Structure 1
Amino acid sequence: MTTCFRAPMASSIPCSSSSSASSLRRRTFKTLCAVNSRNTAKIPMPPVNPKDPFLSKLASVAATSPEKLLNRPSNSDTPPFLDVFDSPKLMATPAQVERSVSYNEHRPRRPPPDLPSLLLHGRIVYIGMPLVPAVTELVVAELMYLQWMDPKEPIYLYINSTGTTRDDGETVGMETEGFAIYDAMMQLKNEIHTVAVGAAIGQACLLLAAGSKGKRFMMPHAKAMIQQPRVPSSGLMPASDALIRAKEVITNRDILVNLLAKHTGNSVETVANVMKRPFYMDSTRAKAFGVIDKILWRGQEKIMADAAPPEEWDKNAGIKVLDAI
């Protein structure tokens, strides 16, 4: 004969035994969770590229500790799966990358400076264009900046300019452009070394001659030239206005004659006579006329050492020269 046992109904369980039944259900649930966890630990993984460190790391974590991948909080601020890596800086924002990347460990990455800025860092001001307002603005600003940086160190002014005219003689700027740079030079506390490279014509020749005495130089094949200022094109200008402009040009001519006479050591009459027509001077003639003091002949007198050797420029600019390996 078969005997059947029927489980008692919940209503028939006494109140005293209800707590033991609840604890039994909790223990049974924990046992099932543990069994499921052991079963899910053996999740089959697809083959991954062994050279891919990201996927290899994920595969290793999934095989050993799958709960790190399965039990992720829904409100986590960490990007998916990045919290399983040892380093929290696996990825960086563009700003962090920009700050961390460098050419070497001592010099941060930045755009290379332009050539005038590099020359200015060596206290060199280069005039390589006609004296138009934009050039005057830059040169005067550089002179003022160099005096502010160090009022005792010399300033090196390299000149290759046709003054306020172009090479074909057409006027491109007012004579006041040259006078503005000249006045700025006279107001500086620094010693100014002027060097003619190529050509110094008209107002540019005045700037060459206005350097500190004994520190005015000229390259062997450079040219200097002084001439009378030119009247700008009048076009359809009324006759009275043209006369006013002509008088202003004559005034500028007289000022230029007086300044050249002052800096070259010649009389006003001598300068005025040679300026009646364009007066060209090579380096030897310019030295004889008093525009310059020395010619930068290669291998003669070592004038460049007097002006400033490259090592001194580097030292003053704070540049450290490393020995070649």
Structure 2
Amino acid sequence: MTMSVWAPMATSMPISSSSSQLPARRNFRTCCLVNARNQARIPMPPLNPKDPFLSRLASVAATSPETLLNRPVDSEIPPYLDIFEAPKLMATPAHVERSASYDGQRPSSPPPDLPSLLLDGRIVFIGMPLVPAVTELVIAELMYLQWMDPKQPIYVYLNSTGTTRDDGETVGLETEGFAIHDTMMMIKNEIRTVAVGAAMGQACLLLAAGTKGKRYMLPNAKVMIQQPRVPPSGLMPVSRVASRAKEVMTNKDTFVKLLAKHTGNSVERVNTVIRGPYYMDPIKAKKFGVIDKVLWRGQEKLMADIPPSEELDGRAGIKGVDEF
């Protein structure tokens, strides 16, 4: 009995001591391996090269990982912001929203507006009366297109009543049209003008100021030239009304000289024509020298197939008489 009891006790003691030491050694070794793996594999944040916050965070994780591992437990500073010397390195909400994308459905940048799309095709569209805001935009677009490529042509589409409305009410100063005209003359690019709808007053001057041989009108467009109008004087003193009227006369002389230069007419003829509103369809505008060509699809073939009016009259038995 004694031997039988003592033997299990003797054999059980070494086994129990060895079994208790082996898990302890394994646990210590496992903890060392886990710590080494955690130090070797630091969780990297998603990197956006346009976000300075994430870029800085990734740089710190690569160079000094202990800065990210040994974080203070109770800190008044928000997480990971203490590694920055200046808060301006963080991305603004606008940057975050522009760079966001949800399942590929959100664009990476906002879509451009229509003038920007036209500008990308080297098209400047003047579709409003020539007020200061329109003049500023048009001049900026012309200078930008010259800066982009001074050799490529610029297309200026016109559908404007100039500095006055069709009923004669003044909406802007004549100098607005002169500013765009002088910019067109200053830049190096070839400027091709196209009248769509209407080109009146100063807009007609801009149409005629295009490169010779590259001035167009659509078939149903119209142009009109007239004298500049005096803006409403209201309760102005008489002296100011007189000075303003004198300035309008100066602008009128400048308008007449420029229009005569671009159309090839004499100053006297232009002065005579603009005494009242002078409307021109594409045929009259071409004869007057405002444009060079009526622009519509297939016009060359159709015009070549149409015989002259004298031949048509002869076929119909009509004889023209110059004098009675």
Q: TM-score, normalized by length of structure 2?
A: 0.63
> Residues of 1 paired with 2:109 and 2:281: CA distance?
44
The corresponding residue for 1:98 is 100
Q: Deviations over 1:42-88 (max 9, x none)?
A: xxxxxxxxxxxxxxxxxxxxxxxxxxxxxxx998xxxxxxxxxxxxx
The corresponding residue for 2:149 is 150
- DSSP 3-state at the match of 2:199: strand
Contact 2:99–2:108 (CA under 8 A) maintained in structure 1:
no
The corresponding residue for 1:300 is 299
* Cα distance, 1:26 vs structure 2: 6.6
Q: Superposition pairs for residues 170-181 of structure 1, below 5 Å?
A: 170-181=169-180
- The verdict on how the C-alpha distance between 1:262 and 1:103 changes in structure 2, with shifts beyond 3 A counting, is farther
Percent identity at matched positions? Answer: 69
- The one-letter amino acid of 2:156's match is L
* Cα distance, 1:113 vs structure 2: 1.1
Contact 1:198–1:222 (CA under 8 A) maintained in structure 2:
yes
- The one-letter amino acid of 1:27's match is S
The corresponding residue for 2:244 is 245
- DSSP 3-state at the match of 2:205: helix
- The one-letter amino acid of 2:262's match is H
- DSSP 3-state at the match of 2:100: helix
Contact 1:102–1:109 (CA under 8 A) maintained in structure 2:
no
- The one-letter amino acid of 2:20's match is R
> Residues of 2 paired with 1:135 and 1:189: CA distance?
22
Q: TM-score, normalized by length of structure 1?
A: 0.63
Q: Deviations over 1:292-316 (max 9, x none)?
A: 00001331128xxxxxxxxxxxxxx
* Cα distance, 1:128 vs structure 2: 0.0
The corresponding residue for 2:17 is 24
- The verdict on how the C-alpha distance between 1:100 and 1:261 changes in structure 2, with shifts beyond 3 A counting, is same
Contact 2:131–2:163 (CA under 8 A) maintained in structure 1:
yes
The corresponding residue for 2:289 is 290
Contact 1:283–1:295 (CA under 8 A) maintained in structure 2:
yes
- DSSP 3-state at the match of 1:139: helix
Larger radius of gyration: 1
The corresponding residue for 1:256 is 255
Q: Deviations over 1:158-177 (max 9, x none)?
A: 00000001233211111000
What's the Cα RMSD here? 3.3
> Residues of 1 paired with 2:188 and 2:98: CA distance?
45
The corresponding residue for 2:125 is 126
> Residues of 1 paired with 2:117 and 2:223: CA distance?
27
- DSSP 3-state at the match of 1:204: helix
Contact 2:193–2:216 (CA under 8 A) maintained in structure 1:
yes
The corresponding residue for 1:43 is none
- The verdict on how the C-alpha distance between 1:205 and 1:26 changes in structure 2, with shifts beyond 3 A counting, is same
1:197 paired with 2:196, answer yes
- The one-letter amino acid of 2:137's match is L
The corresponding residue for 1:113 is 112
Runs of 4+ in 1 over 3 A off after TM superposition: 28-31, 94-97, 99-104
- The one-letter amino acid of 1:290's match is G
> Residues of 2 paired with 1:146 and 1:100: CA distance?
35
Please list every run of 5 or more consecutive structure 1 residues that lacks an aligned counterpart in the other structure: 6-19, 35-72, 76-93, 303-325
- The one-letter amino acid of 1:273's match is T
Q: Deviations over 1:233-274 (max 9, x none)?
A: 001100011000000000000000000000000000000000
Q: How many residues align?
A: 227
* Cα distance, 1:98 vs structure 2: 2.4
- The one-letter amino acid of 1:177's match is E
- The one-letter amino acid of 1:24's match is S
- The verdict on how the C-alpha distance between 1:250 and 1:99 changes in structure 2, with shifts beyond 3 A counting, is same
Please list every run of 5 or more consecutive structure 2 residues that lacks an aligned counterpart in the other structure: 6-12, 28-68, 72-95, 302-324
Contact 1:103–1:109 (CA under 8 A) maintained in structure 2:
no
- DSSP 3-state at the match of 1:259: helix
* Cα distance, 1:25 vs structure 2: 7.9
- The verdict on how the C-alpha distance between 1:95 and 1:221 changes in structure 2, with shifts beyond 3 A counting, is closer
Q: Deviations over 1:138-161 (max 9, x none)?
A: 000000000011100000000000
- DSSP 3-state at the match of 1:301: helix
> Residues of 2 paired with 1:226 and 1:204: CA distance?
9
The corresponding residue for 1:135 is 134
- The one-letter amino acid of 1:224's match is V
